[in-house]
Structure formats: C-alpha cells, structure tokens
Amino acid sequence: MRASSLVEHRVTVVVAVLLAAAVAAAAARTKNECHSGDKAALLAIKSAFGNASFFNSWTPDTPCCEWANVSCDSSSSSTARRVVAVSFLNDAGLAGPLPGAAIARLTALQQLVLNNVPGVNGTIPHDLTRLSATLSFLTITSTGISGPVPPFLSEITALGYLSLSSNSLTGPIPASLGDMPNLYFLDLGSNRLTGTIPPLLLSKGPRRRVPIPLPQQARRRRSRRVRRPAGEPQQLELSHNDIYGDIPEQVVHLMLEYLNVSYNRLSGTVPAGGNMAWFDQSCFQHNKGLCGTPLPPCKE
Ligand SMILES: *[C@@H]1O[C@H](CO)[C@@H](O)[C@H](O)[C@H]1NC(C)=O
Ligand SMILES: *[C@@H]1O[C@H](CO)[C@@H](O)[C@H](O)[C@H]1NC(C)=O
Ligand SMILES: *[C@@H]1O[C@H](CO)[C@@H](O)[C@H](O)[C@H]1NC(C)=O
Ligand SMILES: *[C@@H]1O[C@H](CO)[C@@H](O)[C@H](O)[C@H]1NC(C)=O
C-alpha cells in the first residue's frame, strides 16, 4: 500500500466508525423518545411551574424518556413510547398550583407522585378525572395543597392507591370514595378533615360477604374472590385529623389489613368482629371517647 492510500484507508475507517456511532446514537434517541403529545404535555408542566430548576433535564432536544422522574412504557417498534409515571419529589423550588390541565394531557399516565414539595399549593385539580381510565396510583403527600378531598376523585375509576396524607386538606371525607371499583389503599392521615366516617365508605362489604351455603368447589372459588374484593379499601389510614362520631359498624365486614383512626375526636365503642382484633390500641389511641377492646372497657 502506498502511503497516500494508507491515509485514505484510515480516513475511511474513521468516517465509518463515526457514522456508525451517529446511527447508534440516533437509534438510542428514537428508542428513548416519547410520544410527541406526551413530550408537549411535559413541557407544558415545566412551563406551568415557571421552568423551575427541578426540570433542568427536561429539554426539548433530548429524548423525554430520559428526563429525570419521568418513566415511559417499554418500547415497541411500531408505536412511540408513552409516559406512564411522573414524580415531583423533595424540591422546595417547585411552587404554585398543580397544573391539572397539562398533566391530563399525559393520556397514558398511570402513576402521579408528589411528595415533599411544600410550595405546590391550591386545590386538587378536577382535570385529573380525565385520566380516569389509566391513573391507578396517586400520591399527593407533604405538599401545600389545601381545600377539600374532592368527591370527583371517585370518577377516577382506575385508581387503586390513593394517598393524600400530610397536606392541609379540610372538610369531610366524601362518601363517594366508597364507590371506587379498584380502590385498595386510602390514606387521608395528617390533614384537617372533619365530619364523621361515612358508613358508605365501608359499606361495600356486607352484601357480598353474607355466607351462602355452596358446594365445596364453588365455596372455595367464592372465598378466594371475597378475600380480595374490588372496590373497598383494604388499608385505611385516617389518623391525625379532626374526625368525630362513631366508627361505623360496617367496618367489621371489611377484609381490612390495616386500619388507623388514632388522633381524632371519635367516640363510642370500637366495633368488634371481622379483622378488628388485628389492630392494637395504637390504631385507636388519642380519641375523644373511644372505648372497648383494645382500649379500656366502656363505662356503663
Ligand atoms: C419556560 O421556557 C419556555 C421555553 O424556553 C418559554 O417559552 C416559557 O415562556 C417559559 N415559561 C416561564 C413561565 O418562564
Ligand atoms: C428523580 O430525579 C432525581 C435526579 O435525577 C433522582 O435522583 C431521583 O432518583 C429521581 N426519582 C425518581 C423517583 O425517579
Ligand atoms: C401559592 O403560593 C404562592 C406563593 O408561592 C402564593 O402567592 C399563592 O397565593 C398561593 N396560593 C394558594 C392558593 O395558596
Ligand atoms: C397508628 O397511628 C399512630 C399515629 O400516627 C401511630 O403512633 C401508631 O403507631 C399507628 N399504629 C400502627 C399499628 O401503625
């Protein structure tokens, strides 16, 4: 090989390597790029929060599945990846109302988490109901959000996990939350909620749980279904509020795995039966006039 052709050869190799790298980078880009509507929605959320530093990685020229605290579904060759989860965590610089309209444009969103973002304030936006078919996990905890626990949350029928603890929520617990077909976890603790525990919240159980004599086979099938009924909380946290009245008797018909109503103003006898024996006195402590097992006996 002559010297000049050797140089030419080297240049060709270098160009080929660079090209291959560029193609690979482009492929990676495409792989991590999300649906264009989702990307526009995320940029609208960023803008609604005044382009706060939390969003430094959310830049239009980078693939949105790589942005911090954004998760996409797995890639498929034919369709663009969808944004399925967004989290806003531990940032005092995020301030202002939750941009519900922009969030609702993430039409495949399954999980929305706000935790320890004290500057996020205002009320829980109605626009979240537009995600009723997809949003299954909603956490809004330790924020500046106030106002009621909106009854319209029950319209988000996909919702299984709802945690709204440690905010400044006021007003009653809406009975409509008892109508949610997939709800298994409800945490409304450490707010300023008032009113009584709506029996409706706990009333889905009894009708389905009346023991019906059935042949062995069918009974086994039924009892499996009964153990994991849809549409009523299996974990219910209501502690540190201003809730008064009795604990509705219906609670004994639920297959509750966790119950905590401590630090309220509840009164009357703690209902006995069902899974109630699982819960120790710490779950009922610091109420105005609750009595009976596991608390001291009621006075006649
Ligand atoms: C956020 O940045 C975008 C793009 O640079 C800009 O169009 C928008 O006005 C900014 N919004 C705020 C509230 O600063
Ligand atoms: C959110 O983004 C930050 C910064 O990249 C990262 O440290 C943190 O782990 C992320 N959290 C989640 C839940 O994605
Ligand atoms: C939200 O906080 C901002 C200051 O960060 C304040 O100006 C605004 O009035 C607050 N809004 C509500 C509804 O509390
Ligand atoms: C119930 O909540 C109270 C108050 O937050 C707490 O002290 C107690 O440990 C909780 N009980 C259980 C069993 O988690």
Indicate which ligand has the atom closest to the C-alpha of 96: 3
Distance 47 CA to ligand 1 centre (A): 5
The residue whose CA has the least distance to atom 11 of ligand 2 is 69
Q: How many CA atoms lie within 13 A of 26 on its CB side?
A: 6
Looking at residue 99, its pLDDT comes to 98
pLDDT value, residue 229: 46
Which atom of ligand 1 sits closest to the CA of residue 50? 13
By residue count, the chain amounts to: 300
Q: Residue 237 C-alpha to ligand 4 middle, in angstroms?
A: 9
Ligand 2 lined by 69 (C-beta under 6 Å): yes
pLDDT of residue 223: 40
pLDDT at 255: 80
Nearest ligand to the CA of 51 is: 1
Sign of CA dihedral 32, 35, 40, 46: negative
pLDDT of residue 218: 39
Q: Which pLDDT score is estimated for 41?
A: 98
- Atom 8 of ligand 3, residue of closest alpha carbon: 96
Per-10-residue mean pLDDT for the chain, 300 residues long? 63 64 60 93 98 98 97 80 97 97 98 98 98 98 98 96 98 94 94 95 51 37 42 85 96 89 98 93 96 93
- Token pair, residue 299, equals 């006075």
Chain-centroid distance of CA 51 in Å reads 24
pLDDT at 53: 97
Structure confidence at residue 224 (pLDDT): 39
Among 72, 89, 137, say which to mutate for ligand 2: greatest number of ligand atoms within 8 Å of CB.
89
CATH number at 31-291: 3.80.10.10
293 by Cβ neighbours in 10 Å (0-12 / 13-18 / 19+) ranks as: middle
Q: How far is the CA of 262 from the centre of ligand 4 (A)?
A: 7
pLDDT for 106: 98
Three-state SS letters, the chain: CCHHHHHHHHHHHHHHHHHHHHHHHHHHHHHHCECHHHHHHHHHHHHHCCCCHHHCCCCCCCCHHHCCCEEECCCCCCCCECEEEEEEECCCCCCEECCHHHHHCCCCCCEEEEEEEEEEEECCCHHHHHHCCCCCEEEEEEEEEEECCCHHHHHCCCCCEEECCCCEEEECCCHHHHHCCCCCEEECCCCEECCCCCHHHHCCHHHHHCCCCCCHHHHHHHHHHHHCCCCCCCEEECCCCCCEECCCHHHHHCCCCEEECCCCEEEEECCCCCCHHHCCHHHCCCCCEEECCCCCCCCC
